[in-house]
Amino acid sequence: MTDRQNDVLFPLFAQVTQAGVSRRNVLRSLMAAGIIGSLVGRDAEAQTASRTVTFDHGVTSGDPLADRIILWTRATSAQGGDFYVTWELASDANITQIVASGVALSLASRDNTVKVDVTGLRPGSTYYYRFSFGSTLSTVGRTKTLPEGAVSNVKFAVFSCATLQKGYFNVYAEAAKRDDLDAVLHLGDYIYEYGPGGYVTPALAAGVVKEVRAAELQPQKEIITLADYRTRHANYRSDRNLQALAAKAPWIVVWDDHESANDTYRAGADNHTEGKEGTWTDRRDAALRAYFEWMPVREPLFAAGSGETVPRLYRAFDYGNLLRLVMLDTRMTSRDKQITSPTQFIGLYQTATADGRFPADVNADGTQRQLLGTTQEVWLGDRLKTSQQTWQVIGQQILYQWQPAPDLANTKLLTDAQKAQINGLIDQIFGAGAAQQFAAVAALGGPNPETSDSWVGYPSARARFARTLLQAKNPVILAGDTHNAWAADLRLPTATGVLPIGVEVGTPGVTSPGYEEIFVGVPPLAVAGIIQESGARNQANDQLVYADTSQRGYMLVDITHERVAIEWTYVNTVFSPTYTASMQKRLEVKPGQKKFSTTV
């Protein structure tokens, strides 16, 4: 990426990459891998015999560019220490037509994860790759570089929110059956920090559901230290379904909150207790270090002298003339603390001025609350403004769409008993009196206070994003985080009327529970129906087009110059490793419309 040319390796990673490999150990390792065996004869054979290496965590690839791609594996050895492995990239699945090959270090200081940035590749090409040590081979992965020039079709599978203890990764298994993916987009909550029983829903508390894989979770506690985060990543990558999808296509990922701790912001997290659990900075850096070791992300860079404390994750990928994919970091880089009180949340909106400012949207010290931060906002604006492609796809964590506080008092979709149940749950989750506050917000036509961790909780940043979207040709926002499926037409009131500014689609969780585990027994269609019904009362707001609040699955985003089609595929269960799957909804958006035009 051209805007990174003057950047330098983030210090956290520079240290561990260069440290601790003596020349003698390197030579030994090369001999052991058979790489320079012919030079030293019998000694090399002895080394190969003495070191055993396994590739237990599969292979993956990521961050494709037109001429390069990241290959990843983990190579562990019973003898420990640092050693080299061989990698090969070929144009055929049997790895006979070798295009590139080399050696890469498996360093104990990087948890023996191995990452190679292979360069000199051809654009728009499918490759196969594997790692080896002596005669021990890894599995074979498939990957693809970015296409250039005239591109007619690109397909992404989009995922978020996989809590291992809560279910089987059937959603990954189902998507891994596809042979047509250009990339897997993961919008975060790829891992969760909780220990068994740490992620409580009303359904879990009532014994309606169980954590079916709790015994498999490693470590068996909330993760806090570097060793903990590494163990959890290894635990996830031991899953065969995850490994299958990891090997199927290049991954383009961003973290959400649970890669560190629930409801992360720049200086802390809801699920972090400063002191008792160490400092936030230590925990964040442990989480980040394990993330970059275990995920196929190009080594993070930062602008020299910029004072940045978090490696930059926001980046862009151009698919020829068809689309520009922009991936954002709404969590770690700049986010100020969330508002958790419903009263304070609605206060953001009650004090809004006619010219679209939110005077209450400030920190305790009076500074403007940030979500992306100025540097990332400017970068995003440039990426959208300069895009010559037909589509601008924005992959990020949290819902942008404005969802209303559900107007329970005036709906006929629920019985009085169901309304009482929901109000009881709101009080239980948000504290006594919360249901009354939610009802008051609904009567005013305000946003759902439950969404204060999303874009709606940062109205000034959201308003700036809306104006950026207005300037973009054909923006499509992808969101994760909520565990439910959403599609909305996005709108912006202006002096000349309410304008369409784009669409947003939300991908359901892989296993993390949706509203069905919160409002137990309330028909899912009624939950979605109330949000749609309450939102429709003010046509100046974003309008919900589709929702599914009870099923786990993924989105296929199928892009041509004529349309972006989004297909939601769901599995019938995550509580058993056997499942069925079906595509249940398809929506299309056409260029120039900035709203959904057809439903099928």
Chain contacts with Fe ion (rule: CB under 5 A): 161, 189, 512
Nearer to Fe ion, 29 or 507 (CB): 507
Nearer to Fe ion, 552 or 594 (CB): 552
Q: How far is the CB of 515 from Fe ion (least distance, A)?
A: 13
With residue 37 as reference, give the H or E element that holds it.
helix 37-40
Nearer to Fe ion, 454 or 512 (CB): 512
**∠ at Cα 182 (234, 313), nearest 5°?**
55
Nearer to Fe ion, 398 or 405 (CB): 398
Nearer to Fe ion, 263 or 567 (CB): 263
In eight-state DSSP terms, residue 447 is B
Which tokens hold the place of 60? 């993956």
Q: How far is the CB of 181 from Fe ion (least distance, A)?
A: 22
Is residue 452 within 8 Å of residue 369, measured between CB atoms?
no
Which tokens hold the place of 348? 């953001």
Q: How far is the CB of 483 from Fe ion (least distance, A)?
A: 6
Q: How far is the CB of 509 from Fe ion (least distance, A)?
A: 6
According to the 3-state scheme, what is the secondary structure of 404-431? ECCCHHHCCCCCHHHHHHHHHHHHHHHC
Q: How far is the CB of 522 from Fe ion (least distance, A)?
A: 21
Q: DSSP string of 362-411?
A: B-TTSPBP-SS-HHHHHHHHHHHHT--SSEEEEE-SS--S--BPP-GGG-
Nearer to Fe ion, 182 or 263 (CB): 263
| Cα distance between residue 537 and residue 543, in whole Å | 10
Nearer to Fe ion, 451 or 543 (CB): 451
Q: How far is the CB of 512 from Fe ion (least distance, A)?
A: 5
Alpha-helical segments (H) within 247-338: 280-294
CB atoms within 10 A of CB 150: 9
Nearer to Fe ion, 161 or 326 (CB): 161
Non-local (6+) Cβ contacts of 586 within 8 A are 565, 566, 567, 568, 599, 600
| Cα distance between residue 576 and residue 364, in whole Å | 48
In eight-state DSSP terms, residue 275 is B
Long-range contact list for 492-501, CB < 8 A, 24+ apart?
A: 492/466, 492/467, 493/540, 494/470, 498/539, 498/540, 499/470, 500/593, 500/594, 500/595, 501/466, 501/469, 501/470, 501/475, 501/594
**∠ at Cα 229 (223, 230), nearest 5°?**
145
Q: How far is the CB of 335 from Fe ion (least distance, A)?
A: 16
Q: How far is CA 434 from the centre of its chain?
A: 31
| Cα distance between residue 4 and residue 302, in whole Å | 8
Q: How far is the CB of 437 from Fe ion (least distance, A)?
A: 25
Nearer to Fe ion, 256 or 588 (CB): 256
Q: How far is the CB of 452 from Fe ion (least distance, A)?
A: 15
Nearer to Fe ion, 88 or 239 (CB): 239
Q: How far is the CB of 189 from Fe ion (least distance, A)?
A: 4
Strands 113-118 and 69-74, by their bridges, are antiparallel
Q: Residue 553: beta bridge partners? A: 570
Q: How far is the CB of 126 from Fe ion (least distance, A)?
A: 32
ω into 219 cis (within 30 of 0):
yes
| Cα distance between residue 173 and residue 20, in whole Å | 39
Q: How far is the CB of 276 from Fe ion (least distance, A)?
A: 24
Nearer to Fe ion, 64 or 513 (CB): 513
| Cα distance between residue 160 and residue 189, in whole Å | 6
Nearer to Fe ion, 161 or 394 (CB): 161
Nearer to Fe ion, 394 or 479 (CB): 479
Q: How far is the CB of 397 from Fe ion (least distance, A)?
A: 9
> Which residue, among 140, 151, 164, 159, has the nearest Cα to 59 in the 3D structure?
140
